[in-house]
A and B are shown apart, each in its own frame.
Chain A
């Protein structure tokens, strides 16, 4: 029997469908529907009997969730694994699901910061600053640059995954895949640590103390020289005194004290709490709704 191979056309068809990965995003198995939808051209080509087809469809409706772009190398590797399997190699369901799950977490940790928090803000800010003047070049630049980068990334990383997939399949127990996964986890954890500090925002507003400062520790606005001389003098004093010099009273907020301890402490504690709650099987929606409730209560009673 001749070996069944996925042609470039098959792989392109998968890459095209892969763009609709998140279409049926759901709280139960997340991107599973879109993943299965993307795999269909390959499954049709590789398996001919009804039973094999049904088994393959079910295999690819398992839980899956990652960043929609870095998912491309994962689907490339999976295509290679399915191809090996269809040609009689001993690649079982657990191995395929293991590769998917093993790669999706670390890769999401890379994809989110790279695409959502670096490339898109940079292109967005570039396009937006041109658009603010009413120039059509801004939106066009953003749209075309983004989509060219995105499509090139989707196709070439999928091909890369497909080409290394065969070697991974031969050596599932360790070596290459283990190293890639470990390296990606290290990078991912490092970046997530950074993002928690930068992007999770919790600010406590209560005032701890209000002290009237000694003369000379604040800018005496009433006795500044008139005109631009006054502005100069105020700026000079501000440079010397720092932000506390702006008012007669020095206000210390709870947030200020926490930031002196370590900036972002509350954010990291909240993240760790979420980790623990999720591990206990509490649904993410429940946590999200609770956080909104806390936020509203915090604003209502004036402590956040």
Chain B
């Protein structure tokens, strides 16, 4: 890779790292990040193809609540660099093999990235304490600078590994990642499948009252019907909410006008 290409790759990595936390412009999604790295290194077609394949794997990765999903930013940036190195120096590797190798490395990389994300989110704790101190003095500039530094930190999280990958030989990286025993990589995947529960639990704790728990049960049971898409489930949810609120309004009005207790069976028993 040329010097300019390396600088541009690091820039893309920085953008992807920031987006990995911001989740706004989507520079960290494989479809975008791999394409950009492919473009700046002169392998646009392979980059786009790798991005497409990885995007398919990463479709369901999302940060929910406080739980962190497998890190799409590191997975797409690092595997794109590995692919480019495979394409660039060797006449031995054809594009298909280079792309396939990169895909295989993406999942362990995404788990490694997850730890870096957790590290950054911990470092951000003292940062918001500095913000507190700035707020105490009504120092707007201070709050702003700490916020921007925190975002920069997330960018560096991906930029440094990307720079290192550009420097060291690709074989060393591949060998290291493949040396990871099956039970560790597999176990991480098993853990990753369960971790989403923590995020859902946090949101549940914010919303749950005795009144809305039955709707959780309904959603859970209906989701087992595979034919219902998430859009269909959403429509059912909206309908249930509207029906429930409407009935509740009606019950309140009925209570006001008729003097009933809002409990028809109770009324009958009382009259009996």
Where the two chains meet, the residues of A that have a C-beta atom closer than 8 Å to any C-beta of B are 19-30, 32-34, 36-37, 40, 43-44, 50-51, 53-54, 57-58, 61, 65, 68, 101, 104-106, 108-109, 112-114, 116-118, 120-121, 124-125, 127-136, 138-139, 142-143, 146-147, 150, 179, 182-203, 262-264, 267-268, 270-272, 274-275, 277-279, 284-285, 287-288, 291-300, 304
Most buried by A among B127, B188, B203, B231: B203
Chain B nearest CB, measured from A35 CB (Å): 10
A29 contact set on B, CB distance < 8 A:
128
Q: How many residues of B contact A (CB 8 A)?
A: 105
Residue of A nearest to B53 (CB): A132
Known: A36-B131, A114-B234, A125-B59. A192 touches B200 (CB 8 A): yes
Known: A22-B23, A28-B125, A271-B201. A128 touches B215 (CB 8 A): no
B21 contact set on A, CB distance < 8 A:
22-23, 25
Bound-state Cα–Cα, A132 to B56, Å: 10
Q: Helix, strand, loop or mixed for chain B's interface?
A: helix
Bound-state Cα–Cα, A4 to B146, Å: 29
Do B201 and A275 touch (CB < 8 A)?
Answer: yes
Contact with A104, one of B56, B206, B242 (Cβ below 8 angstroms): B206
Residue of B nearest to A54 (CB): B138
Bound-state Cα–Cα, A11 to B252, Å: 39
A24 contact set on B, CB distance < 8 A:
124, 127-128, 131, 146-147, 150-151
Do B204 and A275 touch (CB < 8 A)?
Answer: yes
B122 contact set on A, CB distance < 8 A:
26-27, 285
Where the two chains meet, the residues of B that have a C-beta atom closer than 8 Å to any C-beta of A are 18, 21-26, 29, 31-32, 35, 44-46, 48-49, 51-53, 55-56, 58-60, 62-68, 118, 121-122, 124-125, 127-128, 131-132, 134-138, 140, 143-144, 146-148, 150-151, 154, 182-184, 186-198, 200-209, 211-213, 215-224, 230-231, 233-234, 236-238, 240-242, 244-245
Do B29 and A195 touch (CB < 8 A)?
Answer: no
Do B147 and A143 touch (CB < 8 A)?
Answer: no
Contact with B183, one of A104, A112, A125, A296 (Cβ below 8 angstroms): A296
Chain B nearest CB, measured from A259 CB (Å): 9
Among all A-B residue pairs, the 5 with the closest Cβ atoms: A193-B219, A295-B191, A105-B206, A131-B52, A296-B187
Chain B nearest CB, measured from A32 CB (Å): 6
Bound-state Cα–Cα, A77 to B68, Å: 28
Do B234 and A185 touch (CB < 8 A)?
Answer: no
Residue of A nearest to B220 (CB): A193
Residue of B nearest to A192 (CB): B200
Do B218 and A143 touch (CB < 8 A)?
Answer: no
Known: A109-B203, A147-B25, A264-B220. A131 touches B237 (CB 8 A): no
Given contacts A189-B219, A195-B223, 15 further A-B contacts (CB under 8 A): A26-B122, A50-B138, A125-B56, A131-B49, A131-B51, A131-B55, A186-B241, A187-B238, A187-B241, A191-B234, A197-B220, A264-B224, A271-B200, A275-B201, A296-B183
Contact with B31, one of A139, A192, A292 (Cβ below 8 angstroms): A139
Contact with A61, one of B64, B131, B236 (Cβ below 8 angstroms): B131
A196 contact set on B, CB distance < 8 A:
197, 200, 220, 223
Bound-state Cα–Cα, A65 to B221, Å: 28
Do A112 and B64 touch (CB < 8 A)?
Answer: yes
Residue of B nearest to A39 (CB): B143
Chain B nearest CB, measured from A50 CB (Å): 5
Do B49 and A134 touch (CB < 8 A)?
Answer: yes
Bound-state Cα–Cα, A208 to B219, Å: 30
Known: A131-B49, A271-B197. A278 touches B216 (CB 8 A): no
Chain A nearest CB, measured from B234 CB (Å): 7
Bound-state Cα–Cα, A137 to B41, Å: 19
Residue of A nearest to B122 (CB): A27
Bound-state Cα–Cα, A150 to B25, Å: 9
A278 contact set on B, CB distance < 8 A:
198, 201-202, 205
Contact with B67, one of A33, A268, A288, A293 (Cβ below 8 angstroms): A288
Residue of B nearest to A118 (CB): B230
Chain A nearest CB, measured from B164 CB (Å): 24
Bound-state Cα–Cα, A25 to B195, Å: 18
Residue of B nearest to A186 (CB): B241
Do B215 and A186 touch (CB < 8 A)?
Answer: yes
Do A199 and B196 touch (CB < 8 A)?
Answer: yes
Known: A37-B143, A264-B223, A299-B186. A26 touches B125 (CB 8 A): yes
Can you offer 11 A-B residue contacts whose CB atoms are under 8 A?
A68-B22, A139-B35, A189-B219, A190-B219, A192-B204, A197-B223, A264-B220, A278-B198, A284-B66, A299-B190, A300-B187
Do A23 and B22 touch (CB < 8 A)?
Answer: yes
Bound-state Cα–Cα, A143 to B183, Å: 37
A132 contact set on B, CB distance < 8 A:
49, 52-53, 56
